[in-house]
Structure 1
Amino acid sequence: MGTPDFSVPVLAALIDAGHRVCCVYSQPPRPAGRGQQERPSPVHAFAASRGIPVRVPKTLRDADAQTAFAALEADVGVVAAYGLILPKAVLDAPRFGCLNVHASLLPRWRGAAPIQRAILAGDAQSGVTIMQMDAGLDTGAMLLWDSVPITASTDATALHDALSVMGSHLIVDALDRLEKGGLAATAQPDDGVTYAAKLAKDEGRLDWTRPAVELERAVRAFTPWPGAWFERGGERFKVLAATVADGSGAPGTVLDDVLTVACGSDALRLLKIQRSGRAALDADAFLRGYPLAKGARIFEPCPATN
């Protein structure tokens, strides 16, 4: 049971390990591209290419969907970024229940966006936890886990890919141990629980009154979506790479000729920028086409929130 790119290596690993995948569940096709034609999810497309039956219910809360799931008589359900709530009837249907491939070191970053939240918070590491699912939000017992460092250059794309591969290895190991009766469960501790709220589109807006270190993390965390950006003259500019630099001044003020911008504390040097509808450019090439001299302002106040 999975939907986005993150889940594809998990499904591929299950197949390659010789497990019989009786059915794949994924979210329904969604409109995509310029023509807004319905497009199956990455997991749906991959499963179909391997000849595996795919089901795309809008919900698993109704009795018919739950009966159809139970009729599979599966030994175990493997869940990786599926995106739908699994009711208790679904969780309990497989002989060994449902195992979740979760992209964090539980109990830190339960919820929808653990990869991005870990980078935003400045965590030194992330990882994958294989969890026995229960009715709570990522509250089930931990079965296996592994970690990976988050470095000063780690962005969400790189961490996503690393954790996807890690999860594919861990779930195969978990199922092997489960079959042999050697998969021990460890309850999640009460201390250290945090929640990774779903990303909002406007979260990527850079608020220059905040510390530069936080904005630099935002640039890495919001790659590729929703992107880190600022507006100037009614035009949106996406910041694809940046680094913290020395400097001070009114927030949003350009401090030099290499596009260092003053923040609430310290400064942010913009390394790669993309104007709306144009190619991404390194700072020097960007400045040749869009001059921003020392003293220029790129600050537009963020809208007030309640």
Structure 2
Amino acid sequence: MRIIFMGTPEFAVPILQALVDAGHQVVAAYSQPPRRAGRGKALTPSPVHRLAESLGIEVRVPESLRDAAVQADFVALNADVAVVAAYGLLLPRAVLDAPRLGCLNVHGSLLPRWRGAAPIQRAILAGDEETGVDIMQMAAGMDTGPVRLEGRTPVARKTAGELTVELSAMGARLMLEVLADPDAYPPVVQASEGVTHAAKIDKAEARLRFEGSAADAERQVRAFNPAPGAFFEVNGERIKVLSAYVDPDGSGAEPGTVVGGALEIACTDGVLIPTHVQRAGRGVTSAEEMLRGFAIPAGTRIA
């Protein structure tokens, strides 16, 4: 098929690669424009941009798809279908209707739960037992289109990073199935009940909350690994927590109080025990190793 690919982050990379490996003709790749990143704040192309260029695929990076000239250029590609994966820009009606088979989206949730920008992180934060990927026929609303094919997986104790890798691979496989025989996967309208919105992650959400349950705090750790990284502050320094486990038995101490020598942190319900941490400007270490050179004794209050 003649395919327009539209995606930006790492989640979309294996999907683009799978389309090429399967022999489809990717006539153009749309991605968000390069952004300033790193210590030098140099303009950096997105992961999809870099892969597409390496594959010899034309890359287009419009700031918006609302411009009539941009839409005309899209239509002129005469594509059979547009495959969309975490692109990050709204698709106007003129774009949605241009390809012969419309636009198919790889969405990282079980719709209608977690429509929006951050479905993987929101599923972890909410304590969902299961998540997955939907291949959705895109419509004008935010993730409101009918679903052609769905895959499921347990959330278990996976981090957002681990789920992203798993769901991306699943999405690539499911998309290839649909493209191989679109008539075999007719669109099914989403249920009207159970709709939730996966709002974009605010970095402030990554500050660990000890006033709730330790289980909630541990979900923060997994939801924000690898980015932006759950954290607490102590002695004027920010400490990221990359992994942790929960002691469900409450300590009776004020939430945010260290109650043991192994960095056990009291929550309103239970105790959070970080296992892998990272001080600012340093590498990831075990909590035990960090404490050898950066003491946080019992009774310390952290924020």
The answer to whether the 8 Å contact 1:209/1:264 transfers is yes
1:267 equivalent in alignment to 2:271 = yes
| CA displacement at 1:128 relative to structure 2 | 0.3
Whether 1:278 and 2:282 are equivalent positions in the alignment is yes
Separation of aligned partners in 1, 2:24 and 2:282: 46
My pick for the range that moved more, 72-81 or 240-249, is 240-249
Structure-1-length-normalised TM-score: 0.95
1:97-108 pair list within 5 angstroms = 97-108=102-113
Q: Secondary structure at the match of 1:210?
A: coil
Instruction: Classify the secondary structure of the residue corresponding to 1:21.
Output: strand
Query: Partners of 1:207 and 1:76 in 2: how far apart?
Result: 44
Name the SS for the 1:294 alignment partner: coil
**Partner residue of 1:250?**
254
Unaligned runs of 5+ in 2: 1-5
Count residues in correspondence: 296
Report the identity percentage: 56
Aligned partners of 2:260 and 2:297 also within 8 Å: yes
CA contact (8 A) 2:96 2:103 kept: yes
Paired with 2:292 and 2:192, the residues of 1 have a C-alpha distance of 54
Helix, strand or coil: the match of 2:7?
coil
- C-alpha displacement of 1:233: 2.6
Query: Structure 1, residues 50-99: CA drift from partner, whole Å, max 9, x if none?
Result: 11111010000010000110001101110000000100010001111100
What corresponds to 1:292 in structure 2? 296
Question: Which of 224-233 and 189-198 deviates more?
Answer: 224-233
Amino acid at match of 2:161: T
Structure 1 stretches of 4+ moved >2 Å: none
SS class of match (2:289): helix
SS state at 1:131 partner: strand
Q: In the alignment, which residue of structure 2 is the partner of 1:92?
A: 97
Which of residues 234, 243, 248 is equivalent to 1:232? 234
Instruction: Determine if contact 1:76/1:97 at 8 Å carries over to the other structure.
Output: yes
* 1:181-216 alpha-carbon deviations (Å, 9 max, x no partner): 322111000111111000001110012111111000
Match of 1:141 in 2: 146
Indicate conservation of the 8 Å contact 2:250/2:268, yes or no. Answer: no
Deviations 1:221-257 (A, max 9, x none): 0011111011123211111111111332111111111
State the partner residue of 1:177: 181
Structure 2 equivalent of residue 72 of structure 1:
77
Q: CA RMSD in A?
A: 0.9
Q: Deviations over 1:1-51 (max 9, x none)?
A: 000111011111111111111111011111122221111111111011111
Q: Does 1:195 align with 2:200?
A: no
- Structure 1 residue runs of 5 or longer lacking an equivalent are 301-306
Q: Where does residue 24 of structure 1 map in the other structure?
A: 29
- Partner of 1:215 in structure 2? 217
CA distance in 2, matches of 1:75, 1:96: 6
Q: What is the SS of the residue equivalent to 2:269?
A: coil
- Alpha-carbon separation, structure 2, partners of 1:95 and 1:254: 60
Contact 1:2–1:43 (CA<8 Å) still a contact in 2?
A: yes
The CA distance in 2 between the partners of 1:291 and 1:39, in whole Å, is: 38
Q: Aligned AA for 1:182?
A: A
Range moving further from structure 2, 87-96 or 251-260: 251-260
TM-score (norm 2): 0.96
Q: 1:270-303 CA distances to partner (integer Å, 9 max, x unpaired)? A: 11121111122212111111112222221x3xxx
d(CA) in 2 for partners of 1:43, 1:191: 34
Report SS of the residue matched to 1:295: coil
Q: Whole-Å Cα distance in 2 between the matches of residues 231 and 271 of structure 1? A: 16
